[in-house]
Structure formats: structure tokens, C-alpha cells
Amino acid sequence: MIVDDIHRTHYSDQIHDSIVGEEISIAGWIEDIRNIGKMAFLTVRDVRGATQVIVSNETLKKAIDTPRQSAVIVSGVVQPSKSKDFHLELKAGKIAIVGEALHPLPIDPTGRVESGIDKRLDSRALDLRNPKTSSIFLLRSKVLDNIRMTLRSEGFVEVNTPKIIGSASEGGANLFGFEYFKKQAYLAQSPQLYKEQLVLALDRVFEIAAYFRAENSNTVRHLTEFLSVDIEAAFIDYEDAMDLAEKVIKNVFRLQMADRKDYALNDLSICRLTYEDCLEELRKEGEKLEFGDDLSDASLRTLGKLHNGFYFIKDWPVELKPFYIHEKQDNLRLTQSFDLQYGYLELISGGQGQLTL
């Protein structure tokens, strides 16, 4: 580990008692400067946390003249701190300013002054330095990793299917079309038909990728581009598929919640209601619904109140599911299908097909 003007030797969370007295360097951005005359306290934040830096003498002027949020590399010696917020601190020997920030800043990334979403998006890099914002990205990355781990441990192979397709494969509604060298092409809405072909040989496949729907609805629940976790397996039925969905969800919670005593994972049992169970429950709540009616947002909100957290709705009528979902053998009006709900939100949609070569 070389202490120079370019390289960090430690992230903020690697500064422990065991390195007191050592010369190290950290890299991040100046979140705060408190000038108390002969010295100043800097808070230098990186993606993993914050470090208190003490500057005095020759580095003092440079430090207090640097605009907040400037990117810096600070080398110095680790020492115990008298601050109530920091157990250890860095006594700065050298400060290199590798990127000087604008002054004044367009938004306050510390969160002390709130900004509207438009202003935040205009200065997104700065907005991402708010730990509240970046934590979403960090958690998301962990969850994706966790989903992949579960699927791989269950024997699934990761595949990548085409996003540019030549024909409107799934009905053709809500497709983005474009010209592809004088031919018509579309952006894929899902890898459904590719997945089905792939499992005929690879047995179990998954893909995590962006898909596209030309949804002309300006709501938070209609996205034109979204990340989809697609899973397909041969030789299983739709109850097995629900078991797998449950395993994926539970593992996400298991890893993320490992350090939270207040979260009892074993309590997470996901009940499997039928579509007709739901109709009955909704009728009891006064809704006028007939077999074959889709469950509206209002209906799902009612169900979400009756069933806290996760629940499945299975055995949907044929008319509400796409052609590749098979009918139930004992009732041809129903399909071997399910949705996984979290309250009123649909998280997963699945079902059993029937394919032959």
C-alpha cells in the first residue's frame, strides 16, 4: 500500500484501532468543514461512510478554501478522536484536491436542505452522495446478487436473450417499433418465448435484463423500461414455481436482515389464495365481481389490507392469462398460474406451460 497523490489505502470503514499511528490515505469528498481558527475539522465521506480529518499548519488554508463536495485524497496518521461522532480520526499530512466542486452547489447532498425531485435529478451525481439515496443503489446491488446466488444454487443457468426482435411475438400491444436497416424491428417486452425454448435443453434458465413496454400511462406503476428477473424451469409444476419464488424472496430477506433481531424470518409464510377465494373475499367487502373479471387496483388494495405482506393469487381464469399459460387439467376455465402480491402490488407473475418439440 503506497501513500501517494492518486491512491487510497483505506476506505472509511477500514479505519480501526489496529492501525492507530499508521500513515494511511483516504479518498472521498469533503462533506463538512468546521474551522476553529488554528485548525479545522473536515468530514470526508466515501461510499462506505465518513472519516474525521484534522487539518492544521500548512494544509489548513488549502482545506478551508476548498468548496464542499470537492473530491480529495487525504494522507495522514490515524489517531484517537475526542469527537463524539468519531472514535478515530486522521491527522492530515497532505491533501490532494482531485476534483474541485462548484460553489455554490446546486443541491445539498447532505440532506439538511431538501430539494425537489427535478433539481435532484439535474444534479444526480451530487444527489447520490446523500447516503439515503446511495443506500437504495447499494441495497439493490446486494439483492440482485442474492437472487442470482439462490438461482445458481438451484441449478439455474444465466442466459441473455435478444432485445431487438423481428416480430411482435406476444400479441403486439405496447411495443416500441423502429427501423432496422429498412426492416421493421421491435424492442422485446419479455424473454418468455426464448426462455421456453432454452429450457428444452438447458433445463433451468434465468435472465436479469431490461425490457421495454410502450405504456402510454404516466403513473409510477407503468414503466417503459424496467429490469425483469425472468426464471423458467422444465419438469416442474406451478406449485414448484411458487416454492421457488418463496425461496428467492426468503433468501433476500435472510441475507439483508441477518443483523436485525426484530425481524423474524420464520414468520414469513406466504399463503396461496385462489382467484376465486379472492372474488369471495372481495364480495364480502361489498364489491360486485363476476368470474372472469380482472382484479382492479382498488380490489387489490382491498386484498392488500386483508392479507398483510406477501401472498399468492393462483388459478386465474383463462381469459386473464396469456396463451402460453396452460389450463388446469381438472378445470379448463382456470389456468395453472399465479401472481405474487405484496399488499396491492404485483411482484411476480408466473405459470405452467406445456411445450413439445
User: Which amino acid makes up residue 36?
Assistant: I
Tell me, letter by letter, the H, E, C secondary structure of 266-315: HHCCCEEEEHHHHHHHHHHCCCCCCCCCCCCHHHHHHHHHHCCCEEEEEC
* Beta carbon of residue 67, minimum distance to its own copies (angstroms, whole number): 9
If the CB atoms of residues 223 and 271 are measured against its own copies, the closer one turns out to be 223
Which residue lies nearer to its own copies by CB, 71 or 77? 71
If the CB atoms of residues 201 and 332 are measured against its own copies, the closer one turns out to be 201
- For residue 146, what is its C-alpha cell? 442474492
CA 241 to CA 312: how far, in whole Å? Answer: 11
- How far is residue 108 from each of residues 86, 101, 139, 208, measured CA to CA in Å? 22, 12, 23, 34
- The CB-of-144 to its own copies minimum distance in angstroms stands at 6
Long-range contact pairs involving 274-281 (C-beta distance under 8 Å, separation at least 24): 274/313, 274/314, 274/315, 275/313, 275/314, 275/315, 275/316, 275/317, 275/320, 275/334, 276/315, 278/303, 278/313, 281/306
Report the SS3 class of residue 123.
coil
Task: Output helix, strand, coil percentages for the chain, rounded to the nearest 5.
Answer: 30, 30, 40
Q: Between 37 and 162, whose beta carbon lies closer to its own copies? A: 162
Q: Cα(first)–Cα(last) distance of the chain, in Å?
A: 59
Degrees to nearest 5, angle at CA 13 with 7 and 16: 100
Q: Of 64 and 236, which has the nearer Cβ to its own copies?
A: 236
Least separation in angstroms between CB 133 and its own copies:
8
Q: Closest approach of Cβ 222 to its own copies, in Å?
A: 12
Report how far residue 351's alpha carbon sits from residue 286's, in angstroms, rounded to the nearest whole number.
30
- Least separation in angstroms between CB 247 and its own copies: 16
Inter-axis angle of helices 238-256 and 131-153, to 10 degrees?
A: 140
**Closer residue to its own copies, CB minimum distance, 54 or 126:** 126
Beta carbon of residue 237, minimum distance to its own copies (angstroms, whole number): 6
> Judging by beta carbons within 10 Å of its beta carbon (0-12, 13-18, 19+), is residue 295 exposed, middle or buried?
buried
| Closest to its own copies by CB, 49 or 304 | 49
CB-nearer residue toward its own copies: 184 or 296: 184
Please, what is the minimum distance in Å from the beta carbon of residue 296 to its own copies? 25
- Distance, in Å, from the CA atom of 319 to the CA atom of 6, rounded to the nearest integer, reads 62
Provide, rounded to whole angstroms, the least separation between the CB of residue 7 and its own copies. 7
The residue among 88 and 157 lying less far from its own copies, judged by its C-beta, is: 157
Q: Least distance from C-beta 73 to its own copies, angstroms?
A: 7
